Each structure stands twice: as structure tokens, then as C-alpha cells.
Amino acid sequence: MSSSNDNDSKKSVSEALRIRRERQNTYRERALALFPRICGRCGREFSGKRLRELTVHHKDHNHDNNPPDGSNWELLCIYCHDNEHARNEVADAYDNAPAGESPDREFGHQPFAGLADLLKKKTP
């Protein structure tokens, strides 16, 4: 019986991956047809085998929002795409911090501690 469950699980995963690939290929191909094959952040150009390094970034982070005019997309290289998502994670961390407190407090790092006192001192 576990063999049957394993096969069902493998089929489900395989089907989900196939659907995801088809969906990605659809909007990826449309984005590549609409936009120049240049990273929207770093400006590098992509062609040939390196074209696979150019990804479609959804500006609103909703992969189901794929308007025909491509207004929710931008082409980013894999490095800039990773950077974009990392920036959002940092922003989310700041948004979730208690009022008046930054996430840096968790690590004990306060780069501007005592700055106000230093600015109040008058130089002779």
C-alpha cells in the first residue's frame, strides 16, 4: 500500500511541477518578447546560453498577476532578483519590529548610540 501512496505522491508533485513550469514559461516567454533582454537593475545584457540567467520578477510578488502588457513584470538577472527579494525580507523585518525599536536591537548593535550627546558638545 505504501508503494501506491508513494506513486500517488510522486504523480502529484510531478504534475504540480509541470503546471508551474508551463505557467512560468508562458509569462517568461511573453516577458522576453516584450522587453529587451537586459537586467532592469544592473543593465547587463543576456543572450544565448546566458539567457537562462535572466528571470521575470513580479513587482507585486503575485505570480498569478500576469497582465498581457507585462506591467507587473521586470526582467532581472538571478543576482539582482535574489537581491530584490532579500531587500524585501529586510523591509519586512523592520515593519514587524515593535514601535520605536529596530531589529538591530536583537543583536545589540546600535550604531548611533550616544550620537545626540556628541552633537550637543561644543568644540573649543
Q: Give tens-digit pLDDT for 3-51.
A: 677 788 888 999 988 887 776 668 888 999 999 999 999 999 999 999 9
Please name every residue paired with 76 in a beta bridge, in sequence order, or none if there are none.
55
- In tens, the pLDDT along 62-96 reads 988 989 899 999 999 999 999 998 987 887 777 77
Residue 74 lies in a domain: yes
Residue 108 lies in a domain: no
Residue 121 lies in a domain: no
Residue 17 lies in a domain: yes
Cell of 29: 516567454
> Domain limits at 44?
2-96
Residue 37 CB: number of other CB atoms within 10 A?
14
Residue 105 lies in a domain: no
Residue 117 lies in a domain: no
Choose among 54, 47, 56, 46: nearest CA to 24. 56
Secondary element (H or E) of residue 6: helix 2-34
Q: Give the total number of structural domains in the chain.
A: 1
